[in-house]
Structure 1
Amino acid sequence: MSKPLGYYTNYTPGEETLLATLQDNYGAAFEKISKREKLVILTALASHIGCQLEGDCREEIFTITKQMKEQLTIDDQLGIMEAIIVQIRWDQNFVVEKQELPMQ
Protein backbone atom coordinates (compact mmCIF):
# COMPACT_ATOMS: atom_id res chain seq x y z
CA MET A 1 0.00 0.00 0.00
CA SER A 2 1.82 3.06 -1.21
CA LYS A 3 -0.76 5.58 -0.06
CA PRO A 4 -1.87 6.12 3.54
CA LEU A 5 -4.80 4.22 5.02
CA GLY A 6 -7.05 7.28 4.83
CA TYR A 7 -6.80 7.27 1.03
CA TYR A 8 -8.53 3.87 0.88
CA THR A 9 -10.87 4.16 3.87
CA ASN A 10 -12.99 6.66 5.78
CA TYR A 11 -10.17 7.21 8.29
CA THR A 12 -9.58 10.82 9.28
CA PRO A 13 -6.45 11.59 11.34
CA GLY A 14 -7.31 12.44 14.93
CA GLU A 15 -10.29 10.07 15.17
CA GLU A 16 -10.23 7.40 17.84
CA THR A 17 -11.27 4.36 15.80
CA LEU A 18 -9.93 0.95 14.87
CA LEU A 19 -8.51 2.53 11.72
CA ALA A 20 -6.52 4.98 13.88
CA THR A 21 -5.24 2.12 16.03
CA LEU A 22 -4.26 0.13 12.93
CA GLN A 23 -2.35 3.08 11.53
CA ASP A 24 -0.63 3.75 14.86
CA ASN A 25 0.38 0.12 15.31
CA TYR A 26 1.25 -0.87 11.75
CA GLY A 27 2.07 2.37 9.94
CA ALA A 28 0.09 4.63 7.64
CA ALA A 29 0.87 2.32 4.72
CA PHE A 30 0.84 -0.94 6.73
CA GLU A 31 4.62 -1.04 6.35
CA LYS A 32 4.92 -2.98 9.64
CA ILE A 33 2.83 -5.89 8.28
CA SER A 34 4.54 -8.55 6.18
CA LYS A 35 3.29 -9.62 2.75
CA ARG A 36 2.22 -12.98 4.21
CA GLU A 37 0.26 -11.24 6.97
CA LYS A 38 -1.38 -8.89 4.46
CA LEU A 39 -2.49 -11.90 2.41
CA VAL A 40 -3.96 -13.50 5.55
CA ILE A 41 -5.92 -10.31 6.25
CA LEU A 42 -7.06 -10.15 2.62
CA THR A 43 -8.19 -13.79 2.69
CA ALA A 44 -10.10 -13.36 5.95
CA LEU A 45 -11.83 -10.15 4.87
CA ALA A 46 -12.71 -11.52 1.41
CA SER A 47 -14.17 -14.66 2.98
CA HIS A 48 -16.16 -12.63 5.50
CA ILE A 49 -17.61 -10.32 2.84
CA GLY A 50 -18.26 -13.19 0.42
CA CYS A 51 -20.23 -15.11 3.03
CA GLN A 52 -22.56 -12.13 3.45
CA LEU A 53 -23.51 -12.02 -0.24
CA GLU A 54 -26.43 -13.92 -1.70
CA GLY A 55 -26.15 -16.52 -4.43
CA ASP A 56 -23.99 -19.45 -5.30
CA CYS A 57 -20.62 -19.67 -7.00
CA ARG A 58 -20.44 -21.49 -10.33
CA GLU A 59 -18.38 -24.68 -10.20
CA GLU A 60 -16.21 -23.47 -13.07
CA ILE A 61 -14.91 -20.64 -10.85
CA PHE A 62 -13.25 -23.23 -8.60
CA THR A 63 -11.73 -24.86 -11.69
CA ILE A 64 -10.30 -21.63 -13.10
CA THR A 65 -9.02 -20.64 -9.67
CA LYS A 66 -7.12 -23.95 -9.48
CA GLN A 67 -5.71 -23.31 -12.97
CA MET A 68 -4.66 -19.79 -11.98
CA LYS A 69 -2.81 -21.10 -8.92
CA GLU A 70 -1.04 -23.78 -10.96
CA GLN A 71 -0.25 -21.90 -14.16
CA LEU A 72 0.17 -18.20 -13.38
CA THR A 73 3.15 -16.46 -11.84
CA ILE A 74 2.75 -14.84 -8.44
CA ASP A 75 2.89 -11.42 -10.13
CA ASP A 76 0.01 -12.37 -12.43
CA GLN A 77 -1.96 -13.79 -9.50
CA LEU A 78 -1.44 -10.53 -7.60
CA GLY A 79 -2.49 -8.58 -10.70
CA ILE A 80 -5.72 -10.57 -10.89
CA MET A 81 -6.33 -9.93 -7.20
CA GLU A 82 -5.82 -6.19 -7.72
CA ALA A 83 -8.15 -6.14 -10.74
CA ILE A 84 -10.87 -8.00 -8.85
CA ILE A 85 -10.58 -5.73 -5.81
CA VAL A 86 -10.92 -2.63 -7.99
CA GLN A 87 -13.93 -4.14 -9.79
CA ILE A 88 -15.63 -5.09 -6.52
CA ARG A 89 -14.78 -1.82 -4.79
CA TRP A 90 -16.07 0.38 -7.61
CA ASP A 91 -18.99 -1.92 -8.48
CA GLN A 92 -17.73 -2.95 -11.90
CA ASN A 93 -19.22 -6.41 -11.54
CA PHE A 94 -20.53 -7.86 -14.77
CA VAL A 95 -23.19 -10.50 -14.16
CA VAL A 96 -23.27 -13.48 -16.48
CA GLU A 97 -26.75 -13.97 -17.87
CA LYS A 98 -28.14 -17.48 -18.09
CA GLN A 99 -28.22 -17.42 -21.89
CA GLU A 100 -24.51 -16.53 -22.10
CA LEU A 101 -21.93 -19.28 -22.41
CA PRO A 102 -19.79 -19.82 -19.33
CA MET A 103 -16.06 -19.15 -19.42
CA GLN A 104 -14.05 -21.97 -20.96
Structure 2
Amino acid sequence: MSKPIGHFTSYTINDGSLLESLQEEYGPTFELMTRHEKLFLISALATQLCDRAPGRCRDEIYVVGHQINSSLSQADREGLVEAMINQVRRGRSLSDTEVLPMK
Protein backbone atom coordinates (compact mmCIF):
# COMPACT_ATOMS: atom_id res chain seq x y z
CA MET A 1 0.00 0.00 0.00
CA SER A 2 1.27 3.46 -0.90
CA LYS A 3 2.02 5.97 1.81
CA PRO A 4 0.64 9.53 1.62
CA ILE A 5 2.87 12.31 0.34
CA GLY A 6 3.20 13.69 3.87
CA HIS A 7 5.23 10.60 4.76
CA PHE A 8 7.91 11.64 2.28
CA THR A 9 7.70 15.46 2.48
CA SER A 10 7.37 18.30 4.95
CA TYR A 11 3.60 18.53 4.38
CA THR A 12 1.46 18.90 7.48
CA ILE A 13 -2.32 19.09 7.58
CA ASN A 14 -3.79 22.57 7.00
CA ASP A 15 -0.43 24.19 6.27
CA GLY A 16 -1.73 25.94 3.14
CA SER A 17 1.22 24.68 1.08
CA LEU A 18 1.48 23.51 -2.51
CA LEU A 19 1.82 19.99 -1.12
CA GLU A 20 -1.55 20.37 0.60
CA SER A 21 -3.09 21.64 -2.62
CA LEU A 22 -1.63 18.72 -4.59
CA GLN A 23 -2.97 16.24 -2.05
CA GLU A 24 -6.43 17.80 -2.17
CA GLU A 25 -6.46 17.78 -5.98
CA TYR A 26 -4.90 14.36 -6.65
CA GLY A 27 -5.36 12.41 -3.42
CA PRO A 28 -2.94 11.63 -0.60
CA THR A 29 -1.15 9.00 -2.68
CA PHE A 30 -1.70 10.75 -6.04
CA GLU A 31 -4.23 8.07 -6.88
CA LEU A 32 -6.10 10.58 -9.07
CA MET A 33 -3.13 10.84 -11.45
CA THR A 34 -2.47 8.43 -14.28
CA ARG A 35 0.66 6.34 -14.32
CA HIS A 36 1.90 8.42 -17.27
CA GLU A 37 1.39 11.65 -15.32
CA LYS A 38 3.30 10.29 -12.31
CA LEU A 39 6.20 9.19 -14.51
CA PHE A 40 6.23 12.59 -16.21
CA LEU A 41 6.48 14.34 -12.83
CA ILE A 42 9.24 11.97 -11.71
CA SER A 43 11.16 12.83 -14.88
CA ALA A 44 10.58 16.58 -14.51
CA LEU A 45 11.65 16.58 -10.86
CA ALA A 46 14.71 14.42 -11.50
CA THR A 47 15.80 16.60 -14.44
CA GLN A 48 15.55 19.79 -12.37
CA LEU A 49 17.36 18.22 -9.39
CA CYS A 50 20.10 16.92 -11.70
CA ASP A 51 20.53 20.32 -13.32
CA ARG A 52 21.03 21.90 -9.89
CA ALA A 53 23.41 19.24 -8.56
CA PRO A 54 27.10 20.13 -8.71
CA GLY A 55 29.44 18.28 -11.02
CA ARG A 56 28.75 16.32 -14.16
CA CYS A 57 28.21 12.73 -15.23
CA ARG A 58 31.05 10.60 -16.41
CA ASP A 59 30.57 9.60 -20.05
CA GLU A 60 30.17 5.96 -19.06
CA ILE A 61 27.01 6.79 -17.08
CA TYR A 62 25.25 7.78 -20.31
CA VAL A 63 26.14 4.34 -21.68
CA VAL A 64 24.89 2.70 -18.48
CA GLY A 65 21.59 4.58 -18.84
CA HIS A 66 21.18 3.30 -22.38
CA GLN A 67 22.04 -0.26 -21.31
CA ILE A 68 19.50 -0.12 -18.47
CA ASN A 69 16.74 1.17 -20.73
CA SER A 70 17.44 -1.32 -23.51
CA SER A 71 18.19 -4.44 -21.46
CA LEU A 72 16.21 -4.46 -18.22
CA SER A 73 12.55 -5.28 -17.72
CA GLN A 74 10.10 -2.55 -16.80
CA ALA A 75 9.86 -3.96 -13.26
CA ASP A 76 13.64 -3.84 -12.84
CA ARG A 77 13.80 -0.27 -14.20
CA GLU A 78 11.09 0.79 -11.75
CA GLY A 79 12.99 -0.97 -8.96
CA LEU A 80 16.16 0.90 -9.89
CA VAL A 81 14.28 4.22 -9.78
CA GLU A 82 13.02 3.37 -6.29
CA ALA A 83 16.46 2.21 -5.13
CA MET A 84 18.24 5.28 -6.47
CA ILE A 85 15.70 7.66 -4.94
CA ASN A 86 16.33 5.98 -1.59
CA GLN A 87 20.10 6.24 -2.11
CA VAL A 88 19.90 9.92 -3.09
CA ARG A 89 17.89 10.71 0.05
CA ARG A 90 19.58 8.43 2.57
CA GLY A 91 22.66 6.81 1.10
CA ARG A 92 26.25 7.75 0.56
CA SER A 93 27.32 9.11 -2.82
CA LEU A 94 30.63 10.21 -4.17
CA SER A 95 31.19 13.90 -3.64
CA ASP A 96 32.53 16.18 -6.34
CA THR A 97 35.91 15.99 -4.61
CA GLU A 98 35.98 12.21 -4.95
CA VAL A 99 36.32 12.26 -8.72
CA LEU A 100 36.71 8.88 -10.31
CA PRO A 101 38.71 8.44 -13.48
CA MET A 102 36.79 8.46 -16.74
CA LYS A 103 36.61 5.11 -18.49
Partner of 2:100: 98
Percent of residue pairs identical = 36
How many residues matched?
101
Shift of 1:91: 3.9
> In 1, distance between residues paired with 2:86 and 2:39?
16
> In 2, distance between residues paired with 1:15 and 1:98?
43
Name stretches of at least 5 consecutive residues in structure 2 with no aligned partner: none
What is the one-letter code of the residue matched to 1:72? L
What is the one-letter code of the residue matched to 1:98? L
Task: State TM-score, norm by structure 2.
Answer: 0.89
- Structure 1 stretches of 4+ with a deviation exceeding 2 A read 94-99
Taking only aligned residues, the RMSD between alpha carbons, in angstroms, comes to 1.8
Shift of 1:53: 1.2
> In 2, distance between residues paired with 1:98 and 1:65?
18
Partner of 1:66: 66
User: Higher mean Cα deviation, 75-84 or 1-10?
Assistant: 1-10
> In 1, distance between residues paired with 2:50 and 2:100?
21
Partner of 1:56: 56
